Structure 1
Amino acid sequence: MKLSLGFSPCPNDTFIFDALIHHKIDTEGLEFEVFFDDVETLNQKALRAELDITKLSFHAFAHVCEQYALLDSGSALGFGVGPLLICHNEDLLQKKKNLDSTYKVGIPGRYTTANFLLGIAFPHLTDKQEMVFSEIETALLEDRIDLGLIIHENRFTYTDKGLHKILDLGSYWEQETGCAIPLGGIVINRNLDRQTKEKVNRLIKKSVEFAFENPKSGLEFIKQHAQEMSEEVMYKHIELYVNKYSIELGTEGRKAIDVLFKMAQEKGLISPIKQNIYLIP
């Protein structure tokens, strides 16, 4: 049986899925057609229910949970892993409390969890320009935007380019909730049979465990998709985004997701969710 699978080319995802798609573990008769896309493209594909299994932002998941269930393995949650709001013009560092719609901010996508957190922390920043996450730093340097919301490996590169941090939105979230920040999860189409869905969940867990046990096994595959990132930065990225929650969400991981959805509902960002969002009760 062949299933379509979407995930990003970022090191955390290629690290997680290397063993699965390259048959370093027993895939129990399943084959996967892989689609590599940036997170917002994956979010849009999920909104159209194009893929059987996909990585997506938790913010986006809130809009598609009728079509998809959240797997217990493969998620990206953690502390110190949130998006950063940055700028090029140092004068803006002094105006943190007065940022409003007069400033244009580049965001990595409407349905990203990063954009949701930005809306909580800076509700008056309404002039937003969507762009591929890897283009935001360049747009700042060329003064096409005033502020940039960065995710993924750009956390490690922005200072080298002369850019400045205004606020770590992950730290903001942690102070507000005490929870790990839920960034992205792996979901599966509810229309697949129960046996297949449980098998996929089991295989992704095995793939993550294999990666932890053999951290260099997927090095060439990770490098291939890492946008000329150094090996040191690649593994810093993996260390931040792949952890115990990636093996299984557990009670703490589920609490963080539930709090995120509760806050989003209270602020009118998403509709009330009526069904169980988790594949594994």
Structure 2
Amino acid sequence: MSAETVQIAYSPCPNDTFVFDALAHGRVPDAPALDVTFADIDVTNGMAERGESDALKVSYAVLPYVLDEYALLPCGGALGRGCGPLVLTREAGLDLTGRTVAVPSEKSTAYLLFRLWAAETVPGGVGEIVVMPFHEIMPAVRDGKVDAGLVIHEARFTYGGYGLHKLADMGEHWESTTGLPIPLGAIIAKRSLGTQSLTRLADSIRASVRAAWDDPGASRPYVMAHAQEMDPAVADQHIGLYVNEFTADLGEDGYAAVRGLLTRAAAEGLLPPLGPGALDFP
């Protein structure tokens, strides 16, 4: 990497393109240039584990595997309330015991929240887990290829169009049992970039978020160009749900949520424990 360009990978979803629009298009003063790769979250999680990019948007659930090489940035990610993954079925009230469930990634925060939920509410245990790109999950449930699907992103607003039913909301379960916001996606960057570059990148991302809020129309071409034929109103709902005060700064509640999720998952044996200071930003 040159001193002026950061390789970064994030999803084509509206929240990411909204957040990074100003930065990706050179409208943030004194910011590094971005060399952007678009990839689904399951792909970026794998890239992070292989150290393949300077910076990435990843699932919080992958942090214990990558924090030796990467630092968690205190901004740019996705946390919130009322925005958790959903479990969808064709048949209302389906018992998931022994059922096949499609998930977007086995290293995703969505899957981690699902496992914590299932441990309490499906005592017999679910059956086979099938990983598929998130945009293929609802059609697979509708067509009977799987019994249930764990969905993320704009699927919250569109599943009714597939004739599907919401069996459970992983976010509601998380919030009701912890009182904390839901940690979904994190921005990480290589520690080898150095403290000065990491701080500059974080400051630039914050500035990009604020620029998007100040002039939402400016990001519209970038958002819609990558939104996979999404209805503009759905894209706006998506942005409104996933881009919030935690995107600008994790803050005390954000860090408490991340720590709470990873600590609880480690206690259940679902993730390796975090080392001391692993979440600290340089």
Using the size of structure 1 for normalisation, the TM-score is 0.95
Alignment of 1:141-220 (within 5 A): 141-220=142-221
Say if 2:263 and 2:274, in contact at 8 Å, map to a contact too: no
Structure 2 residue matching 1:122: 3-state secondary structure: helix
Q: For 1:177-216, what per-residue CA distance to the aligned partner results, in whole angstroms no more than 9, with x for missing partners?
A: 0000000110010111211111101100100011111111
**How many angstroms apart in 2 are the aligned matches of 1:120 and 1:73?**
26
| Structure 2 counterpart of 1:106, one-letter code | A
> What do you get for the CA RMSD once the two structures are aligned?
1.2
**How many angstroms apart in 1 are the aligned matches of 2:64 and 2:236?**
30
Using the size of structure 2 for normalisation, the TM-score is 0.94
Say if 1:7 and 1:36, in contact at 8 Å, map to a contact too: yes
- Residue 130 and residue 94 in structure 1: after superposition, are their counterparts in 2 closer, same or farther (change >3 A)? closer
Structure 2: tracts of 5 or more residues without a match: 120-124
Structure 1 residue matching 2:218: 3-state secondary structure: coil
Say if 1:78 and 1:181, in contact at 8 Å, map to a contact too: yes
Q: For 1:127-160, what per-residue CA distance to the aligned partner results, in whole angstroms no more than 9, with x for missing partners?
A: 1000000000111111110000000011111011
**How many angstroms apart in 2 are the aligned matches of 1:35 and 1:126?**
34
Q: How many percent of aligned residue pairs carry the same amino acid?
A: 37
**What residue is the counterpart of 1:120 in the other structure?**
116
**What residue is the counterpart of 1:233 in the other structure?**
234
Q: Report how far residue 279 of structure 1 moved.
A: 4.9
Q: Report how far residue 87 of structure 1 moved.
A: 0.5
Counterpart check, 1:13 vs 2:16: yes
| Structure 2 counterpart of 1:10, one-letter code | C
**What residue is the counterpart of 1:38 in the other structure?**
40
Q: Report how far residue 26 of structure 1 moved.
A: 1.3
Q: Report how far residue 17 of structure 1 moved.
A: 0.2
**What residue is the counterpart of 1:269 in the other structure?**
270
Q: Report how far residue 94 of structure 1 moved.
A: 4.9
| Structure 2 counterpart of 1:153, one-letter code | E
Alignment of 1:19-168 (within 5 A): 19-28=22-31, 30-90=32-92, 93-95=93-95, 99-100=96-97, 102-123=98-119, 124-168=125-169
**How many angstroms apart in 2 are the aligned matches of 1:155 and 1:125?**
22
- Residue 38 and residue 94 in structure 1: after superposition, are their counterparts in 2 closer, same or farther (change >3 A)? closer
Say if 2:139 and 2:162, in contact at 8 Å, map to a contact too: no
Q: For 1:51-79, what per-residue CA distance to the aligned partner results, in whole angstroms no more than 9, with x for missing partners?
A: 10100000011211111111111011000
| Structure 1 counterpart of 2:99, one-letter code | Y
| Structure 2 counterpart of 1:39, one-letter code | I
| Structure 2 counterpart of 1:251, one-letter code | E
**What residue is the counterpart of 2:122 in the other structure?**
none
**How many angstroms apart in 2 are the aligned matches of 1:210 and 1:278?**
27
How many pairs does the alignment contain?
A: 274
**How many angstroms apart in 2 are the aligned matches of 1:213 and 1:184?**
23
Q: Report how far residue 25 of structure 1 moved.
A: 1.4
Q: Report how far residue 108 of structure 1 moved.
A: 0.3
